[in-house]
Amino acid sequence: MSGPGNHPMLRVQALAKRFGGIVATDDLSLSVAEGELHAVIGPNGAGKTTLIAQLSGQTTPDSGRIYFAGADITTLPMYKRSRLGLARSFQITSLFLDLSVLDNVALAVQAHTGHSFRFWRDARSEPELREPARAALARAGLSARADQPASALSHGEHRQLELAMALAGSPRMLLLDEPMAGLGPEESSAMVAMLRALKREVTILLVEHDMEAVFALADRVTVLVYGRAIASGTPDDIRANAAVREAYLGESEDAHV
Amino acid sequence: MTLFIEQCLNGLQFGLLLFLLAAGLTLVFGIMDLVNLAHGSLYMIGAYFAATFAAWTGSFVLGAVLALAATLLVGMAVEVIVMRRLYGRDHIDHVLATFGLILFFDEAVRLIWGPAGLSLSLPPWLSQPVQILPGMNYSAYRLAVIVVTLAVAGFLYVLVMRTRIGMLIRAGASNREMVGALGVNIKLLYTLVFGLGAALAGLAGLMQAPILTVQIGMGENILILAFVITVIGGIGSIRGALVAALLVGFIDTLGRAFFPDILRMLLSKEAAATAAPALSSMLIYLLMAVVLVVKPEGLFSAGNK
Amino acid sequence: MRPALNLRTLVTVVLIAALVLLPLYTGLSGNRFLLTLFTRIVILAMAAVSLNLMLGYGGMMSFGHAAYLGIGGYAVGMLAHEGIDSGFVQWPVALAASALFALVIGALSLRTRGVYFIMITLAFAQMAYYMFAGLARYGGDDGLTIYKRSQFVAPVDLSNKTQFYYICLALLFGVIYLVWRLTNSRFGLVVQGARSNDLRMRAIGFPTYRYRLVCFVIAGTLCGLAGALLANQTDFVSPSIMYWTRSGDLIIMVVLGGMATPFGPLIGAVALLVLEEVLSGITEYWQIILGPLLLLVVLFARGGIDGLLTNLSGKASGQGRS
Q: What are B50-91's pLDDT values in tens digits?
A: 999 999 999 999 999 999 999 999 999 999 999 989 988 888
Subunit contact C112:B297, Cβ cutoff 8 A: yes
Q: Calculate the alpha carbon distances from B138 to B145, B207, C284 in Å.
A: 12, 17, 44
pLDDT tens by residue, C112-163: 888 889 989 999 999 999 999 988 889 988 999 999 999 999 899 999 999 9
* Number of domains making up chain C: 1
Subunit contact C189:A118, Cβ cutoff 8 A: no
Say if residues C319 and C312 touch (Cβ distance below 8 Å): no
Residue B282: its chain C contacts at CB < 8 A?
127, 130-131
Subunit contact C291:B230, Cβ cutoff 8 A: no
Subunit contact C184:A123, Cβ cutoff 8 A: yes
The CA distance from B36 to B75, in Å, is: 12
Looking at the complex, report in whole angstroms how far the Cα of residue B107 sits from the nearest Cα belonging to chain C.
Answer: 5
**From A63-77, A159-173, B199-213, C146-160, the region with the lowest mean pLDDT:** A159-173
Least CA distance to C260: which residue of chain A?
A: A98
Looking at the complex, report in whole angstroms how far the Cα of residue C181 sits from the nearest Cα belonging to chain B.
Answer: 26
pLDDT at A253 over 80: no
The CA distance from A43 to A23, in Å, is: 15
Interface test with C, best of B81, B270, B292 (most C CBs within 10 A): B292
- Asked whether the whole model's pTM tops 0.80, one would answer yes
pLDDT in the model for residue B304? 38
Q: Which domain holds residue C307?
A: 2-321
The CA distance from B77 to B73, in Å, is: 6
Name the pairing type of β-strands B136-139 and A203-207. unpaired
Residue A110: its chain C contacts at CB < 8 A?
186, 189-190
Residues B135-148: what's their mean pLDDT? 90
At B274, the pLDDT band (50, 70, 90 cuts) reads confident
The CA distance from C99 to C219, in Å, is: 9
Say if residues A220 and A197 touch (Cβ distance below 8 Å): no
At B171, the pLDDT band (50, 70, 90 cuts) reads low
Residues A216-222: what's their mean pLDDT? 92
pLDDT at B180 over 80: no
At B174, the pLDDT band (50, 70, 90 cuts) reads low
SS (H, E, C) A167-197: HHCCCCEEEEECCCCCCCHHHHHHHHHHHHH
Q: How many residues does chain B have?
A: 305
Interface test with B, best of C105, C116, C246, C275 (most B CBs within 10 A): C116
Q: How many residues does chain C have?
A: 322
At B22, the pLDDT band (50, 70, 90 cuts) reads very high
- What is residue A15's DSSP assignment? E
Name the pairing type of β-strands A63-68 and C236-237. unpaired
The CA distance from A23 to A62, in Å, is: 11
The alpha-carbon radius of gyration of chain A (Å, integer) is 18
Partner residue facing B108 (CB), from C63, C252, C288: C288
pLDDT in the model for residue C308? 79
Amino acid at C255: V
pLDDT in the model for residue B301? 66
ipTM: 0.89
pLDDT tens by residue, A88-128: 888 777 899 999 999 999 999 999 888 999 999 999 999 99
- Beta strand residue intervals within chain A, DSSP E: 8-19, 22-33, 37-41, 63-68, 71-72, 86-89, 173-177, 203-207, 220-225, 228-233
SS3 B299: coil
Where do the domains of chain A lie, and which CATH numbers do they carry?
A: 1-85+173-257 (3.40.50.300), 96-170 (no CATH)
Q: Report residues of chain C scoring pLDDT below 70.
A: 1-5, 303, 313-322
The CA distance from C214 to C191, in Å, is: 9
The CA distance from C206 to A50, in Å, is: 22
Q: Calculate the alpha carbon distances from A16 to A91, A221, B21, C183 in Å.
A: 22, 20, 43, 42
Partner residue facing C123 (CB), from B99, B227, B273: B227
Least CA distance to A96: which residue of chain C?
A: C196
pLDDT tens by residue, A125-182: 999 999 999 999 988 889 999 999 999 999 889 988 988 898 888 899 999 998 888 8
CA dihedral (A146, C57, A108, A206) in degrees, to 10, reads: -90
